[in-house]
Amino acid sequence: MQQTGKPPLFSNKYLFALIGPLLIETLLSVTIGMMDTIMVARVGEFAVSGVSLVDALSNLIIFLLSAFATGGAVVASQYLGKQDRKSSCFAAKQLIYISLIFSVAISLPLFIFREGTLGLIYGKTEESVMGAAVDYFTPILISYPFLALLNSANALFRAMGKSRITMVVSMIMNAINISGNAFFIYVLDMGTFGAGLASLISRVVACIFMLYKVTRTKETIHVEHIFRPELSASMIARIMKIALPSGIENCIFHIGKILVSSTIASFGTASIAANAVFNALGTFANIPGTAVGMASVAVIGQCCGARDYKAAEHYGWKLLALTYIMMGVTSAVMFILSPELAMLYNLSDEAYSLAVESIRLNMVQTLFAWPLAFTIPNFLRAAGDAKFTMYVSIASMWLFRVLLSRVLGVNLGMGFIGVCWGMFIDWYCRGIFYTVRFIKGKWKTKTVV
């Protein structure tokens, strides 16, 4: 970043240096989940379905924990834009502590009642699928506090523009996870429990490494005396101003997704397995948008911290255009290769046919609607306009993705493809609202620091 007075100016070189490692990091992050599914496919289709059911619930918790990381990163970024390094570091320490407290508060009761929780949500699922889900869920639950701390430390480094270190950590996690899968699944024959255990170990190692990095005083944003508790109600309130709406949004959004998964489960094992492949492969096309969304916290956040809203708007449109270009490439590649990629999952003929059809449909809709629905709201949150994104997300989610998908899938007999169409309509709805909000500029009146 270059400084000319107060307003932050980000060169193209800086943006690519920030986004490039985030692209690789996001790719590696997606690969962890995909490799779990592919490698566990050796056990059978019931294991793939079990992992898919847990992932639907796990994503709810992960995105809820990520809301704290986002809130802390926005506050730290805006303080950097104000040239207030001391407050940035203090915000970082608050983020670490509240992330740990909250993650333990969530994971502990879920661990104790893990079988009952899965049974309550997916009660009609086949016994073999439920058994695989419980086995996978056990080590995944233990990993949440480590993942929460890791996400918080990663978010702080991205706020500094140092995305290369988070990329390296993702590489380490992937290496541990893949080798662990091979050992626990193929050698020890531990099935879905082995896949979850490999994920747990990778998250523990990465967490320890990043906590070490974020406590080094030479970093622009760092945590001093991490083992000396120091909580500030006012600083926590600033973080929660972003984290709470984002957390509620993510929580309700993924509760809706779980309900949708429950609807899909009623269509049978083939639809569950097709949905697992649909989610895993579809996520690859979203990698550029996800990377840009993470980068926007540093870019838009620092611009708003410096009160340079003209620059924030300029970089917002620039980042959106870059997202469309990159996602055009990934969507086209995934559309073409979907038959070959779906074959990697050892699916039945029915599941394979559903997977290919849904993935290709997904790629077409992703190209047009996904950046507006999921990249622009990151700009708004970075500016402090988190409540608006929460309201739109919740309303659109329940109206279209939950209710409409059930009408299309169950009442009109469209099955899994009908559920997909409910999701796509949800994208278009929220994309319209977010785009209008960004154009009108109401987000410029929001302040965090």
The string of pLDDT tens digits covering residues 373-408 is: 999 999 999 898 989 999 999 999 899 988 999 899
Instruction: Tell the residue number behind the tokens 């915000």, with chain if given.
Output: 91
Question: Is-contact 370 405, C-beta < 8 A?
Answer: no
Residue 152 makes CB contacts below 8 A (sequence gap 6+) with 68, 69, 72, 95, 96, 99
Residue 208 makes CB contacts below 8 A (sequence gap 6+) with none
pLDDT band of 425, cuts 50, 70, 90:
very high
Residue 318 makes CB contacts below 8 A (sequence gap 6+) with 15
pLDDT at 408 (0 to 100):
92
- Nearest-CA neighbor of 147 among 66, 218, 91? 66
Is the pLDDT at 205 greater than 50? The verdict is yes
**CA distances for 105 relative to 65, 101, 102, 141, 258, angstroms:** 11, 6, 5, 12, 21
Residue 215 makes CB contacts below 8 A (sequence gap 6+) with 222, 223, 224, 226
Question: Among the listed ranges 104-113, 206-215, 230-239, which one has the minimum average pLDDT value?
Answer: 230-239
Give the pLDDT confidence of 121-172 residue by residue, as tens digits: 776 677 777 888 888 889 999 999 999 999 999 989 988 888 889 889 988 9
**Alpha-carbon torsion, ordered 4, 213, 236, 112, to 10 deg:** 150
Cα torsion 335, 287, 283, 261: sign: negative
Question: Among the listed ranges 153-157, 343-347, 361-365, 392-396, which one has the minimum average pLDDT value?
Answer: 343-347
Total Cβ atoms within 10 A of residue 248: 18
Predicted model pTM: 0.78
